[in-house]
Amino acid sequence: MSTTKESQNVATQVQALTLFAKQKKWHITDIYADRGISGSKQNRPELDRLMLDASRRKFDAVLVARFDRFARSVKHLIQALETFQALGIHFISLSESIDTQTPIGKMIFTVLAAVAELERSLIRERVQMGVDRARREGKRLGRPRNAIVEDATILRQLQKKVSVSAIAREWGIARSTVRGIARKAKGTRRQPPAAPVRRRPARR
């Protein structure tokens, strides 16, 4: 769709929304329209401004032409609706005749929220199953070490006054590991033999 057609489409939507608001005798606080930007795009300045104004409670309701003109995905739609619900802001979609003030609108929101929660639970379950499988197979979890490093190498660097943070960063290990190697080395160092002491015979 060209920029001209997109502008005409936005103007048509704004006209329909304005007429609907006047019929309901609602006061229009502001109009948020991302002209020439698809609803699927991540960066939408006017949508960002709308969500910011919502957090500041500048209005009591959000009226949109269609779901797909407002949200880029079902997940995004649910997140926005959850935000509006927490702020006490109603959401109305003109084409779908959805109003979260009505019982049917509330039911649809509840169903969508339940589907979103089910999806999140399934994702967490799949992740946990992957972790459990990796543990059973003996795979090491967490951040892998960049290289196999011997304690002697660490000690030589410490003797050269290389910082603990620099050593840990170089070898991909924790700073506590470097300090533990240093403490272990200090504990195993041999103490110098004590000098022999000659005891004088006690006087009578």
Which region among 42-46, 85-89, 145-149, 187-191 has the lowest average model confidence (pLDDT)?
145-149
| Beta strand 98-99 pairing with 90-93 | antiparallel
Q: Are 50 and 62 in contact (CB under 8 A)?
A: yes
Cα–chain-centroid distance for residue 26?
36
Q: For residue 42, what pLDDT is reported?
A: 55
What span, in angstroms and rounded, lies between the C-alpha atoms of 38 and 72? 9
Q: For residue 196, what pLDDT is reported?
A: 44
- Higher-confidence residue: 201 or 122? 122
List the one residue out of 27, 40, 46 whose CA is nearest residue 67. 40
11-27 per-position pLDDT tens digit: 888 899 999 999 989 99
**Mean pLDDT calculated for residue range 168-180:** 83
- Higher-confidence residue: 117 or 180? 180
Q: For residue 61, what pLDDT is reported?
A: 93
Q: In the chain, where are the structural domains located?
A: 3-103, 151-188
The beta strands (E) that lie in 43-164 are given as 61-64, 90-93, 98-99
* Confidence band for 62, pLDDT divided at 50, 70 and 90: very high
What are the backbone angles phi and psi of residue 93, rounded to the nearest 5°? -110, 120
CATH topology of domain 3-103: Rossmann fold (3.40.50)
* Confidence band for 5, pLDDT divided at 50, 70 and 90: very low
Q: By percentage, how much of the chain surpasses pLDDT 70?
A: 77
Q: What is the dihedral angle through the alpha carbons of 39, 45, 46, 48, rounded to the nearest 10 degrees?
A: 90
What span, in angstroms and rounded, lies between the C-alpha atoms of 32 and 18? 12
What span, in angstroms and rounded, lies between the C-alpha atoms of 19 and 28? 11
Count Cα atoms within 13 angstroms, Cβ side, for 164.
Answer: 10
What span, in angstroms and rounded, lies between the C-alpha atoms of 149 and 121? 40
Map tokens 């290990």 to a residue: 173
| pTM of the entire predicted model | 0.50
For the record, the structure tokens of 82 come out as 């959850």
pLDDT at 180 over 50: yes
* Confidence band for 153, pLDDT divided at 50, 70 and 90: confident
What span, in angstroms and rounded, lies between the C-alpha atoms of 11 and 170? 58
Across the beta sheet with 90-93, the strand order is 61-64, 90-93, 98-99
pLDDT at 150 over 60: yes
Q: For residue 189, what pLDDT is reported?
A: 54
pLDDT at 143 over 70: no
CA angle 168, 169, 172 (to 5 degrees): 75
